[in-house]
Amino acid sequence: MKIYHAPNTRSVRIVWLMEELGLPYELERFKLGDPGMRAPQYLKLNPMGRVPTLVDGDVTISESGAIVQYVLARHGRGALAPAEASPEFPRYLQWLHYAEGMIMPPVNTIIVETILLPEARRNQVNVDRAVKLLSRMLAAVETGLAGRDYLAGDFSGADIMTGHACTVASRLGADIADKPNVAAYIARLNARPAMQRAWAA
Ligand SMILES: N[C@@H](CCC(=O)N[C@@H](CS)C(=O)NCC(=O)O)C(=O)O
């Protein structure tokens, strides 16, 4: 399988997944902002010009959450996902999708408004609103982790998605001082050798 990857982006999730599963993969590396991400041959694979994209034989798939689900279904041999009949399965789906659905939108706003836009075009109202929203989204993770080390039973694809999103949020300065479960969770995940290898990839 080939992963189109840029360091410190959501494609870290897919490298992390492969490392956890011990599956072989090839990396095609970009740097964010690389014109190659807008080149016609890459846009054929990913019309948004974004990462990650996974190519597996004749399958080309984007959207990090979909890639996690796809790889676990086709290549996971039952690892990193509760069985459909398990009581953890609905929680697993919820937290698998929570990363992109609820955490990353305010994270995106903060990145755009504090890093990407030229200073003259930044809007503090947008930043304040996104910071508040992000705190509420992380508060739900705090509650979801009560009495648990991972979001849905054993470590799973849901932790790769939402754990990565929590890590990015905290690296961006999200205040987790009042969220001890989230802080411990981020530390627990970042201690995993597979995640460390993914951050370094
Ligand atoms: N919802 C998509 C988001 C993909 C995305 O926005 N990726 C960012 C990196 S984290 C990207 O490729 N940005 C490059 C750009 O906007 O030019 C996913 O989860 O895969």
For the chain, the structural domain boundaries read 2-80, 89-199
Q: Tell if the pTM clears 0.85, that is, is over it.
A: yes
CB 90 within 8 A of CB 152: no
pLDDT at position 33 is: 87
Query: DSSP states of 40-95 as a string?
Result: HHHHHH-TT--S-EEEETTEEEE-HHHHHHHHHHHH-TTTTS--TTSTTHHHHHHH
CA of 87 to the centre of ligand 1 (A): 32
Quote the distance between the C-alpha of residue 126 and its chain's center: 23
User: CA–CA separation, 144 vs 172, rounded Å?
Assistant: 22
> Which residue puts its alpha carbon closest to atom 18 of ligand 1?
63
Per-residue pLDDT of 109-125, as tens digits, reads 999 999 999 999 999 99
Half-sphere exposure of 52 (CA within 13 A, CB side): 29
CA of 62 to the centre of ligand 1 (A): 10
Report percent pLDDT > 90 for the chain.
Answer: 98
CA of 51 to the centre of ligand 1 (A): 5
pLDDT at position 175 is: 87
pLDDT at position 142 is: 98
> Is domain 89-199 in CATH 1.20.1050.10, yes or no?
yes
Per-residue pLDDT of 6-18, as tens digits, reads 999 999 999 999 9
Residue 133, number of CB atoms within 10 A of its CB: 17
Is residue 100 lining ligand 1, measured as CB closer than 6 Å? Answer: yes
Ligand 1 atom nearest the C-alpha of 52 is 20
Q: Are strands 53-56 and 59-62 parallel, antiparallel or unpaired?
A: antiparallel
- Hey, what CATH topology would domain 2-80 get? Glutaredoxin (3.40.30)
